[in-house]
Amino acid sequence: MFRRGRGEGRRRTVVAVVVAAVLVLVLAGAGAGYLLLRTHGSPQQTAASYLSAWQRGDYQAMGKVSVHVPHGGLATPVGHFTSQVGVRHLHLVLGKVTPDSAGAQALFTATVGLVSNHVWTYTGQLQLVRQNRAWWVSCNGSCCTQRGRPAARSSGPGAPCSAHPRRSRSPAPSRC
């Protein structure tokens, strides 16, 4: 009855090729956008890097994964506290990392050996934020607040960037 002409079949082929090409471009653009705009790393990686640097006493590395750092960096307040309290060794263990409305919170346990042969053990918390497509430890107003008192297996000093000791009875020896 009706015969299709050569032009009609060719037109369908051209339309199909154009639609396929547009679809490929849209998918490629979406993939590139994801790769360029996604947040790099994870809050767990950032917290682990921060705690590892802190345990090694590498305050410059701590600062590289932190925002809202005091003007002189972390070496002065943390170093001041370390010498004031008499820290012999520090062992930090990353705990649970949970998302919250501001980003994420990372719990950690610190065991601090003092020159007085006392051991301070406490649970601290790091506040992590997403900024410039990366995760950062946020040093806010409570950064570097140390609280607690030394005693075998008791609560202990606060930590750089928002430590929350289990018990706190004495005032902070230093503040940012």
Three-state SS for the chain is CCCCCHHHHHHHHHHHHHHHHHHHHHHHHHHHHHHHHCCECCHHHHHHHHHHHHHHCCHHHHHHCEECCCCCCCHHHHHHHHHHHCEEEEEEEEEEEEEECCEEEEEEEEEEEECCCCEEEEEEEEEEEEECCEEEEECCCCCCCCCCCCCCCECCCCCCCCCCCCCCCCCCCCCC
Question: Do residues 91 and 104 share a domain?
Answer: yes
Question: Do residues 98 and 118 share a domain?
Answer: yes
- 131 or 29, greater pLDDT: 131
Please state the domain count of the chain. 2
- pLDDT one-digit tens code per residue, 77-115: 888 878 888 889 999 999 999 988 879 999 999 999 999
The pLDDT of residue 84 is 85
Structural domain that includes position 6: 1-38
124 found inside a domain: yes
- 23 or 154, greater pLDDT: 23
Which of left, alpha, beta for 68 (phi over 0: left; psi -120 to 50: alpha)? left
Question: Do residues 63 and 127 share a domain?
Answer: yes
Question: Do residues 127 and 68 share a domain?
Answer: yes
Question: Do residues 22 and 90 share a domain?
Answer: no
- pLDDT one-digit tens code per residue, 20-66: 888 888 888 777 776 666 567 899 999 999 999 999 989 999 989 99
167 found inside a domain: no
Beta bridge partners, 98, equal: 105
- 36 or 173, greater pLDDT: 36
* Closest C-alpha to 85, from 158, 14, 135: 158
Question: Do residues 92 and 7 share a domain?
Answer: no
What CATH number does the domain containing 65 carry?
3.10.450.100
Q: Indicate whether 148 pLDDT > 60.
A: no
